[in-house]
Chains A and B, each alone.
Chain A
Amino acid sequence: MSQPDSAVADAQGGAATESLAALAKRHGLRRAIARPSLPFYVGQLWARRHFVLKYATSRNVSKYSQSMLGQLWQLLTPLLNAGVYYLMFGVILDQKKDISNYTAFLITGVFIFTFTQRTVSGGAKSISNNLSLIRALHFPRAALPLAYAVQELQQLLWSMLVLIGIVLLTGEPLTLYWLLIPVALLLQLTFNIGASLFMARVGAFARDMNQLLPFIMRTWLYASGVFFSIPDRVADLPESLAFVQYIMELNPAAAYIELMRDLLIQSHTPPQWAWTTAIFWAVFALVIGFWYFWRAEERYGRG
């Protein structure tokens, strides 16, 4: 022991033979830092739902607080994005020949992918960027990646407004399928939360992830059929490589994009398994992501 004996004797309150752990046990004290059980953790998280919502809204408000147009940027950002991508892929690269209603096809892909991309990248930074908060206050740490996900969801709702406007302008009819839009978004949100919880733990302990992530995300973007149609692109492949199409369509991002295109664009035919894939990834990501994040709950403060 590395301190004067008198301090130890004092620490043990005179009962020199009793170990401190035993004394703690006798008085019913618990470890200050211990991972709560999974059900209890979910309860704690539910109790902090107001914080999650407020934190997400506050981050969105503070993001645009320095600009003159303020919250209008929540609407302008997706609009400008749509314009840039259309100019790039619709006009300059002229991809639109083979795909009917390419404008709606492209913008749906970009917005849906951006939602997943931003949530996952935000989640990866949510722990490492908030270490001072983690080292100052008690709350279930999953509240942070969750708040980032909610923040992106709020942003997405503005994007959806823009998207629906564009889709209607390109002449798509309003159908009953549109009622399924919230269901598709909910599945995607579930997947995003799971993936971002997973990446939050990875990003918390492997800091270099934040440098690597933009490249991973861009590769994912190009592989997810945002700018092109996956069946068209793989049509020229030899018979022996036909499985590539299935692998590409199993990609969760591709599944959520295809799902939304199916709902919004009448002439679009999604891959056979789009709904199954979408549901599978949502459940799988949430269960694995949440469990994986919770396993390190007590260690996030160390950095």
Chain B
Amino acid sequence: MAMERVWPLTAEEQEATAKSSATGTPTVIVDDLHIVYKVYGATSAEEKGNAATALLRLVKRQGRPQMREVHAVKGVSFVARHGDAIGIIGRNGSGKSTLLRAIAGLLPPHSGAVYTDGQPSLLGVNAALMKELTGERNITLGCYAMGMTPSEVRAKYDEIVDFSGIGEFVQFPMSTYSSGMGARLRFAIASAKVHDVLLIDEALATGDREFRKRSQKRIMQMRESAGTVFLVAHNLDVIEETCNRVIWLHKGKIKMDGDPAEVIGAYNKA
């Protein structure tokens, strides 16, 4: 399998990989994708945020400075194939998370398109959880939010509690959890579902060392059951360990796309 390669490839091996990946059926095709989204409340420091200036702007027919349009992804194209584990690297704000959200079909393209086989899903349920509620309620809520049925939730419930290792704290509101406990529960809920195409955003494997090891193992398992995996992380070692292909995003464009060692090497030099 191409996805197990982590060492630099020789020329012949590269050719072989290229051939084998060419034969794998495409699962995600990104075609000249542009993403623009709106950000509210982005006022610069020198901007006076009072009613008079707001009225003046309206009279002068200037746009609202509180609302900015962010052109986060600017013309990205690539084909991901079955069995690929693709790492996405780049500086903060280079469009990595936005690209993932677009592949997942959560952000509409400004132009261009994303074609997928099945429904790619983003690993993470944080947004659906409510910190005033008990862990127990949040497990059910999070599972429903990911589209599980009541019987699936019942079947997975104990496993989620065990994996998170929060014990009797499951009866307490999540606001009383330590940050590590909260992160563990969130990861346990998010990883309870099986995905076709899996998109993993960075910093999922948090918590203490022991939990980090367990969650990395879980991610590996999920990678194996999923057809194609995208991984966004700042930790380049994780990417080099788990991916067979790396895409380097820079200011919303692909700067480099190819073998992990090669791309990461170039990225480190830049």
Contact = CB atoms under 8 A, between A and B. Distances in A.
Given A29-B26, A138-B119, A298-B108, A21 B31 contact: yes
A50 B258 CA distance: 43
Nearest to B105: A32
A8 B258 CA distance: 12
B125 interface: yes
A10 interface: yes
A47 B147 contact: yes
B253 A3 contact: yes
Contact of A137 (B26, B108, B117, B146): B146
Contacts of B27: 29
B40 A303 contact: yes
A289 B81 CA distance: 41
Interface in B86-130: 101-109, 113-117, 119-122, 124-128, 130
A298 B102 CA distance: 11
Interface stretch (B44-52, B133-141, B218-226): B133-141
Contacts of A24: 26, 29, 31, 113, 115
Interface string A35-65: 0000000000001101100110011011001
Given A7-B257, A23-B26, A29-B29, A137 B127 contact: yes
Contacts of B21: 13
Interface residues of B, number: 64
Interface string A1-22: 1111011101111100001110
B257 A135 contact: no
A1 B30 CA distance: 13
Contacts of B140: 54
B22 A14 contact: yes
13 contacts: A1-B77, A2-B253, A3-B77, A11-B77, A24-B115, A31-B113, A50-B150, A55-B128, A62-B132, A137-B121, A138-B106, A207-B40, A301-B37
Given A32-B104, A299-B108, 13 more contacts: A3-B75, A3-B254, A7-B78, A7-B254, A24-B26, A30-B115, A32-B116, A33-B107, A51-B145, A136-B124, A136-B126, A137-B146, A303-B39
Interface of A: 1-4, 6-8, 10-14, 19-21, 23-24, 27-33, 47-48, 50-51, 54-55, 58-59, 61-62, 65-66, 130, 132-139, 207, 298-299, 301-303
Which 5 interchain pairs have the tightest Cβ spacing?
Answer: A24-B115, A32-B105, A29-B115, A20-B31, A51-B144
